[in-house]
A and B are shown apart, each in its own frame.
Chain A
Amino acid sequence: MGKYIVRRLLQTIPVLIGVSILVFSLMHLIPGDAAQIMAGEGASEATVEQLREKLGLNEPKPVQYYNYMTGVVQGDLGNSIRSGRPVMDEIKGRFWVTAELAIYATILAVFVGLIAGIVSAVRHSSWADVSIMIVALFGLSMPNFWLGLVLIQWFAIGADWLPEFLKMRPSGWGDSWRQLLLPVITLGTSGAAIIARMTRASMLEIIGQDYIRTARAKGLSERIVIYRHALKNALIPVITVVGLEFGAFLGGAVITETIFAINGMGRLTIDAIRERDFPIVQGTILIISLVFVLVNLLVDISYRMLNKRIDLN
């Protein structure tokens, strides 16, 4: 197992190099000149040229990439063009805001999705199953920018119940859960719907298996048959989805953060793209990719925990 983890960690290196090349090229391919934006519209050509020189933008692209990567391997993601501060510092404060949002959204999605999926499967074809699946279809079809706006309209503006929902989220952990509630629901709903549908399909397949009949033939209670014998088998495909959903939440947080004016990684990235602050863009995407790869490693390890037959090597 230890060997496997080390090997998987080493495998992330080429993935991250690929991501960095991709982002680096994209940022330099799209029109717009960071030096021009920094200097302002009315700046003279000489000033802009001077800035370009200072930022190293006149070097050939491969040299620029090489210089950048030399920094990255030493833990230096460069400096923000806009603020001049190290990218690491810029990201540090924002990362946990987004991570917190994504983690809570994942917890919500797993909790609601699993329960709904299990109930649906156990009461297959009943009114409960049908209504859960209709709600899940809605959850899946609603774009989260729309859901976010509706939630704000209902809970924060229309009812004026919980005005603090709308307060700007300061960065960091441990803030009021009330401020988190609406963004987490906005982000987590589609995931809950996907997990519910996946769990239902997976459970239905498992419940029809011979070994479930064997478990019943032993005189076990329905609760043990479902939660011990069926669920442990049904979880394997569901966990894959949970890993992918967490990644999607990290990326999808961009929209949610914009709607709820949350100062997270998503907003940082969007602002940086607009201002052609490419060290920041590269930094944020690299970090998100790293987290995504690590979460999927966790998923693979948990497969092995659930089913010893899955040979990781």
Chain B
Amino acid sequence: METDVLRVQNLQTSFYTDEGEVKAVDGVSFNLPKGKTLGIVGESGSGKSITALSILQLLASNGGIKGGEIVFKGDNLVNYTEEQMRAIRGNAISMIFQEPMTSLNPVFTVGQQISESLIKHQKLSKKKAMERSVDLLKLVGIPSPEARVKNYPYELSGGMRQRVMIAMALSCDPEMLIADEPTTALDVTIQAQILDLIKELQHRLGMSVMFITHDLGVVAETCDYVAVMYAGQVVEYADVYTLFANPKHPYTIGLLNSLPRHDVDQDKLEPIRGNVPSIRDMPQGCRFAPRCPAATDLCRSKLPALEPSGNGNDVRCWIYTEEWDGEAEVEVYGKTRIAQS
């Protein structure tokens, strides 16, 4: 029986701006089983990063968690004090970011920056922490780590910096790693190296990984479970095989349908028509309804809940509920789905 390291239930995160409250995340639920990798997929602005920052409570000062639960190893982090959160950050849960070029402090050496977490969480001496930093640089595959540890970030390439970020994140043997688009800013060849590195380290150290990306290829390659996000909500959650073989939510189907295929001759890619709704002007019903080819009056007027729909998928869609008011067989982007199943 698998145990969940992290269980997020109906998370709601808002920001308060001059124009009022902005609900950046409004109904995110997923589980991350121990030692597994969860992918969070979605377009820019769908709330992926805000979900990650909410878990560590690293939100900007005008933002905050408004509701829901973030249960990490049985404890609800939402109730933690700032002091308690500090003991978690960089220790039990650590995070790597999208932009390796700007995520390291330019005025401290790589070694100093890795040492900091070790000194803070593991109470190592400066000297011991520096020795451990060299080991960590070796672990993430940086050549001549003894010399590199004294380098400043500007002396390293983007790929190297991301390796340093990973070394920093792994310094205190975290149980969970949040990787927020760790390869987006890197060259394709370097991307593959970094992905392999994260996978290899995960197996070696037995961590659970939450992988945020907009790249479905990366998801297929690295993840065990996937949560698909749209407009601040999780619309589908499933294990990776089920999701790719039998996607249920029209958005997920459309997303997979829009990918280029190697097995058939395609002249054009098929996009999902329309645009993501503005965060200030969300549709009253299902948030995908304005773009959904199968949308009915029910979809446009009432927001569906994220519910189990058999064979492993949790779906936020009326088609698979008793209340469905459309055809019994629905065709979405060339795929037929049996309603209410």
- Looking at the assembled complex, report how far the CB atom of B235 sits from the nearest CB atom of chain A, in whole angstroms: 28
Is there contact, CB below 8 Å, between B168 and A218?
A: yes
Is there contact, CB below 8 Å, between B152 and A309?
A: yes
Interface residue ranges of A285-313 to B (CB < 8 Å) = 306-309
Contacts known (A210-B97, A213-B58, A308-B152); A219 close to B107, Cβ less than 8 A? no
Chain B residues with Cβ under 8 A from A213's Cβ? 58, 97, 103
Is there contact, CB below 8 Å, between A220 and B106?
A: no
Mark A205-240 against chain B: 1 for CB-CB distance below 8 A, else 0.
Answer: 000011101111111110000000100110000000
Decide yes or no whether B208 CB sits under 8 A from chain A.
no
- Cα separation A38 to B245 with both chains bound (whole Å): 105
Decide yes or no whether B77 CB sits under 8 A from chain A.
no
Closest to A307 in B: B107
Is there contact, CB below 8 Å, between B105 and A229?
A: yes
Is there contact, CB below 8 Å, between B152 and A218?
A: no
Is there contact, CB below 8 Å, between A219 and B87?
A: yes
Interface residue ranges of B75-102 to A (CB < 8 Å) = 85-91, 94-95, 97, 99, 102
- Looking at the assembled complex, report how far the CB atom of A215 sits from the nearest CB atom of chain B, in whole angstroms: 7
Is there contact, CB below 8 Å, between A233 and B106?
A: yes
- Looking at the assembled complex, report how far the CB atom of A228 sits from the nearest CB atom of chain B, in whole angstroms: 8
Chain B residues with Cβ under 8 A from A210's Cβ? 97, 99, 102-103
Binds A, one of B116-124, B138-146, B257-265: B116-124
Most chain A C-beta atoms within 10 Å of own C-beta, residue among B58, B105, B121, B168: B105
Closest to A305 in B: B107
Interface residue ranges of B124-153 to A (CB < 8 Å) = 152
Interface residue ranges of B10-28 to A (CB < 8 Å) = none
Chain B residues with Cβ under 8 A from A221's Cβ? 86
- Looking at the assembled complex, report how far the CB atom of B92 sits from the nearest CB atom of chain A, in whole angstroms: 9
Most chain B C-beta atoms within 10 Å of own C-beta, residue among A215, A221, A232: A215
Closest to A211 in B: B105
- Looking at the assembled complex, report how far the CB atom of B112 sits from the nearest CB atom of chain A, in whole angstroms: 10
Contacts known (A213-B97, A309-B154); A219 close to B88, Cβ less than 8 A? yes
Contacts known (A210-B99, A220-B116); A306 close to B107, Cβ less than 8 A? yes
- Cα separation A220 to B120 with both chains bound (whole Å): 7
Most chain B C-beta atoms within 10 Å of own C-beta, residue among A214, A232, A233, A309: A214
Is there contact, CB below 8 Å, between A217 and B106?
A: no
Chain B residues with Cβ under 8 A from A211's Cβ? 102-106
Q: Which of A219, A229, A233 contacts B117 (CB 8 A)?
A: A219
Decide yes or no whether B56 CB sits under 8 A from chain A.
yes
Number of interface residues of A (CB under 8 A): 19
Contacts known (A210-B97, A213-B97); A218 close to B89, Cβ less than 8 A? yes
Is there contact, CB below 8 Å, between B103 and A219?
A: no
Closest to B88 in A: A219
Is there contact, CB below 8 Å, between A233 and B97?
A: no
Chain B residues with Cβ under 8 A from A219's Cβ? 85-91, 117, 120-121
- Cα separation A284 to B87 with both chains bound (whole Å): 59
- Looking at the assembled complex, report how far the CB atom of B193 sits from the nearest CB atom of chain A, in whole angstroms: 21
- Looking at the assembled complex, report how far the CB atom of A134 sits from the nearest CB atom of chain B, in whole angstroms: 22
Chain B residues with Cβ under 8 A from A308's Cβ? 107, 152
Decide yes or no whether B234 CB sits under 8 A from chain A.
no
Is there contact, CB below 8 Å, between B105 and A217?
A: no
Q: Which of B88, B154, B165 contacts A214 (CB 8 A)?
A: B165
Contacts known (A210-B97, A213-B97, A309-B154); A218 close to B117, Cβ less than 8 A? yes
- Looking at the assembled complex, report how far the CB atom of A79 sits from the nearest CB atom of chain B, in whole angstroms: 51
Contacts known (A232-B107, A306-B107, A309-B106); A217 close to B94, Cβ less than 8 A? yes
Most chain A C-beta atoms within 10 Å of own C-beta, residue among B89, B102, B107, B165: B107
Mark A34-50 against chain B: 1 for CB-CB distance below 8 A, else 0.
Answer: 00000000000000000
Q: Which of B56, B99, B107, B152 contacts A217 (CB 8 A)?
A: B56
Is there contact, CB below 8 Å, between A209 and B102?
A: yes
- Cα separation A214 to B99 with both chains bound (whole Å): 11
Most chain B C-beta atoms within 10 Å of own C-beta, residue among A218, A229, A307: A218
- Cα separation A209 to B154 with both chains bound (whole Å): 16
User: Which 10 pairs, one residue from A and one from B, show the smallest C-beta to C-beta distance?
Assistant: A219-B89, A218-B90, A219-B90, A210-B102, A211-B105, A210-B103, A219-B86, A218-B117, A217-B95, A214-B103
CB within 8 Å of B: which residues of A?
209-211, 213-221, 229, 232-233, 306-309
Q: List 27 A-B contacts (CB under 8 A).
A: A210-B102, A210-B103, A211-B102, A211-B103, A211-B106, A213-B97, A213-B103, A214-B97, A215-B105, A215-B116, A216-B58, A217-B56, A217-B95, A218-B94, A218-B117, A218-B168, A219-B85, A219-B87, A219-B89, A229-B105, A229-B108, A232-B108, A233-B106, A233-B107, A307-B107, A308-B152, A309-B106
Instruction: Give 15 new A-B contacts, CB below 8 A, not counting A218-B94, A309-B154.
Output: A210-B99, A210-B102, A211-B102, A214-B165, A217-B95, A218-B168, A219-B91, A219-B121, A220-B90, A220-B120, A232-B108, A306-B107, A307-B107, A308-B152, A309-B152
